[in-house]
Amino acid sequence: MTTPDPYSQSQQPPPPPQVPPPYVPYPPQPYGYPPYVPPRPTNGMAVAAMVVGIVGVCGFLGILALIFGNVAKRQIRETGDQGDGMATAGIVLGWIGTAATIFWIAYYIIMIVFVGAAFNELENSDWPTSDWPTDDPTWAITLLAGF
């Protein structure tokens, strides 16, 4: 006896099994880590400019912050160090400190001139200072009665 052919003329053979597409690997990666690049050093004059600028924002140290900041800017341009922002901060704070110092010096000079003029006016005026009734206990009442 013969077994019937499962794939007879009336039936088609089953489709072939689905084969997944071939594996596509990622592109090759360079192995290892990138080389270590040390950070650029920070300019010491820039740090000094910022610190002196902060300390001397209302004093005479602002002039030093200006000097340190400008020297640091020049050094940073030449060497490529970090610290450009700190040097700029030192310069700005130095200008603020210098302006504040000039303001206070001018203020004190003007006040000395005005106070000196007031004392000069008191010395050269004809105010009655010898007639002041200091021995009389009722001098305050007499003085207030005039008002």
Burial category of 142 from C-beta neighbours within 10 Å (exposed 0-12, middle 13-18, buried 19 and up): exposed
In the predicted structure, residue 138 carries a pLDDT above the cut 70: no
Q: Which residue has the higher pLDDT, 134 or 64?
A: 64
Confidence of residue 129 (pLDDT cuts 50, 70, 90): low
Q: Which residues of 91-115 are buried (b: 16+ CB within 10 A; e: fewer)?
A: bbbbbbbbebbeeeeeeeeeeeeee
- Tokens in use for 73? 């800017």
What average pLDDT does range 89-118 have in this prediction?
93
Span 61-81, mean pLDDT? Answer: 94
Q: Among 62-66, 78-82, 91-95, 119-123, where is mean pLDDT lowest?
A: 119-123
Q: Does the pLDDT value for residue 142 go beyond 70?
A: no
Cross-strand bridge partners of residue 82: 42
Instruction: Count other C-beta atoms under 10 Å from residue 47's C-beta.
Output: 16
- pLDDT band for position 20 (50/70/90)? confident
pLDDT of 128 over the 90 cut: no
Is residue 140 predicted with pLDDT exceeding 90? no
As a whole number of angstroms, the distance between CA 59 and CA 97 comes to: 6
User: According to the model, what pLDDT value does residue 7 have?
Assistant: 55
Separation CA 49–CA 95 (nearest Å): 12
Residue 143 has pLDDT above 70, yes or no: no
Q: Which residue type does 72 have?
A: A
